[in-house]
Structures are given as structure tokens and as C-alpha cells.
Amino acid sequence: FFQTYYPEFDIGLWTFSASVFGGSFGVFAGGFFSDRLVQVLGLPSRLWLLSACTLLAAPLAVGTLYFPPPGAFGCLIVYYFFAETWFAVLFTVIVEIVDPEVRSTCIAIFLFLMNLVGGNLPVIVAPLRSYFNDYRSALYLVSSPSPPSSSCCPPCHSGSGRRR
């Protein structure tokens, strides 16, 4: 995406920063804050945290595609922070609510489906791009605000910027 709309912009340091500072700290923060919340508000608070982070991440995903760099990458770093909280929270919830006899199977099925469906989601970007005759529109449709699905096709792989 950046190569299409902003070929002169070097994205290396920015994508590194999004992954390390946004994504890694987001995964840690999701687990850390959900552990603190569950002590005070109980198990459902983990899912409330996940919902709040998803709602905060959604407009940032749009901003990543809308704004020109480096503003797009500012959105991307903060987006990754909120969007990647799902990882620690979701697996903790699965471990807490699924019976021990089927826990590993449940996690395996979840990972299989996430990778099978979400991992192949980028395949539909090219046909959507051809249909809309616009890369950005295709990415708006594919980059869902749902963290598990958006992490399979993140705006980082797509970029941002206003139409030229």
C-alpha cells in the first residue's frame, strides 16, 4: 500500500516500531490489566477490557489508512497497542472457562480456524482492489476492527494515506 501511494516514504523503522512498541507492549498490557481487573470485577471484566480496546482500536485502523505518513504510523503504533491486547486476554479466558479435559483441543481448534480463515484473508485483497479500482477501499473492507481478524491482515501490511 505504501509503495503504491507513498513510494518515496521509508517504512522500515515505522513498521518495526509498530510491531515492537505497539504490538508487544499491547499484548503485555492486555494480560497485565486484565489480571488486575479480574481481581476487582471478576472474570467478565476481561471481556469488557477486550471490548473497550477493540472499540479504541477501530478508528485508529481507519486512521492508518487515511492519514499520510508519518501520521499513519502514529495511528498504527497506537492501533497495535490496543488491537493486540486480545491475544493475552482471549487465551486466558479460554483457559479459565473450558474444562481441563478439552482445553488443549479447544485452543488447537481456535488457532487452526484463526490461521486457516484469517491467514487466508489477504488473498481477497487483490480481487477487491480490482473490483473497486482502489487499494484503500479494499483494505478498509478487509481490515476489520475485530482484533483477531485484523491481526491477520493488519493495516501495517497495507499502509495509509489520502488518495492522490
Question: Residue 61 burial (CB < 10 Å; 0-12/13-18/19+)?
Answer: buried
DSSP one-letter string for 68-100: PTTHHHHHHHHHHHHHTHHHHHHHHHHHHHS-T
Q: What percent of the chain has pLDDT over 70?
A: 87
Q: Does the predicted model carry a pTM greater than 0.85?
A: no
Mean pLDDT of the chain: 83
Mean pLDDT of all residues in 39-67: 92
pLDDT digits (tens, 9 = 90+) for 97-153: 999 999 999 999 989 988 888 778 788 888 988 998 988 888 888 875 544 444 443
Residue 81 in this model has a pLDDT that exceeds 90: yes
